[in-house]
Homo-oligomer: A and B are copies of this chain.
Amino acid sequence: MVPHLITALTGPINELEQRILDSMPAIERWFRLEWMEHTPPFYSSVDVRNAGFKLAPVDTNLYPGGWNNLTPEMLPLAVQAAQAAIEKICPEAKNLLLIPENHTRNMFYLMNVAQLARIFHMAGLNVRIGSINPEITEPTPIALPNGDSVLLEPAIRTRGRLGVKHFDPCTILLNNDLSAGVPGILEDLHEQYLLPPLHAGWHTRLKSRHFECYEEVAKRFGKMLGIDPWLINPMFNQCGEVNFAEGTGFECLTANVDALLNKIRRKYKEYAINEKPFVVVKADNGTYGMGIMTVRDVKDLEALNRRTKNKMSVIKDGQKVSNVIIQEGVLTNERIHDAVAEPVVYMMDRYVVGGFYRVHAERGVDENLNAPGASFVPLAFADSAHLPQPGAKPGASAPNRFYMYGVIARLALVAASYELEATDPELQDAD
């Protein structure tokens, strides 16, 4: 199924697409050279928004779920990339332990776990799923709606190693974003490969740090392409010490929202864009689409209702919000059957292996789509992830658009690699 797409492709985005297509060899070389200096995250997904006049990543996930939303055609690419990734890190690997999130009743999430296990099994590893959920005290098979099943086994810690009964893995793959911090069972695993490293978890990550790195990447990439980096970079500010529940710290928030809205207005004026600017306020360490609100006017902040305040106060795993990032809102002008859509690009190591559209019929073009009610339309990415069609008219070709999305997602991947270097405790110790 190829989704029916409508994109408001007017103005600069056509130029950008043309520039990206024309520069493909230079772009691919640029990435190759980046990966000589920096290590890509083991796997990732990037939410991309295409405003027609601007194209930018808005969120980068280093513990991607949703692998079950990729089409079967994408599986061979994911398997091949997984083989490349494993070979690079631990060619002698035999056994892989997958540590999922603790939710045991979310069938969509568990289908993702089953799909990940399948990918790594097909890449040639023995795969078992080790749950760190205290409720899982014995091997627990769970039947899935698609006819598959997963077996959750309690993860067992023995001295320096983690495993499940009769299974001693050399590699541990986390699909748990550690929002609540690193559980003791995962600490000090010096004898095994832990992927991604613990400091990729949301107890350490900050969206502001990621987008600071991304800004640097976008500037360098923009310079190479000869484009205004703003066309691919969402501007942002940040505030610490905001307490939504008690309504404190709002001066900072208001001032920064106002300043950012003004900056966007100036950019819109420069490019003669006739849209209403907006910003998105997000918990700086938030995930799962939680702790996010759209602000179109500073006055909106004065009139926050209890429900919104509650929504912004607490995020995944009950973590309190105090630091927020105020990010330039990027409209999404992608539509599938009239519903607002945003592309999500999946990567394994440095390779784009697939993607899908996150579609939300009840949300606006300036709202977060990662919310209950979202559905997923797989992209026909297999044909096209890296495969632009030279000669095809910009905007007219889905493959060309997908290539462009893959480039933007990979820029976010480079930013994530900078980010992980900046927070790597081992590199810190060396300083």
Contact = CB atoms under 8 A, between A and B. Distances in A.
A28 B125 contact: yes
A32 B386 CA distance: 25
A84 interface: yes
A124 B390 CA distance: 12
Interface core residue of A35, A76, A122 (most chain B CB under 10 Å): A76
B124 A94 contact: no
B124 A72 contact: no
Contact of A123 (B28, B83, B384): B28
Nearest to A123: B28
A76 B386 contact: yes
A80 B77 contact: yes
A73 B73 contact: yes
B94 A35 contact: no
Nearest to A386: B79
Contacts of A322: none
Interface string A60-101: 000000000000110111011101101100011111000000
Interface residues of A, number: 43
Interface stretch (A19-27, A45-53, A236-244): A19-27
A388 interface: yes
A26 B125 CA distance: 8
Interface in A380-398: 382-388, 390
Given A73-B383, A75-B383, A124-B386, 14 more contacts: A25-B124, A28-B123, A28-B124, A29-B91, A29-B92, A32-B86, A33-B92, A73-B382, A75-B387, A76-B383, A83-B351, A84-B84, A122-B387, A382-B382
11 contacts: A28-B124, A28-B125, A29-B91, A29-B124, A32-B87, A35-B91, A36-B91, A73-B73, A79-B387, A83-B351, A122-B386
Interface of A: 24-29, 31-33, 35-36, 72-73, 75-77, 79-81, 83-84, 86-87, 91-95, 121-126, 351, 382-388, 390
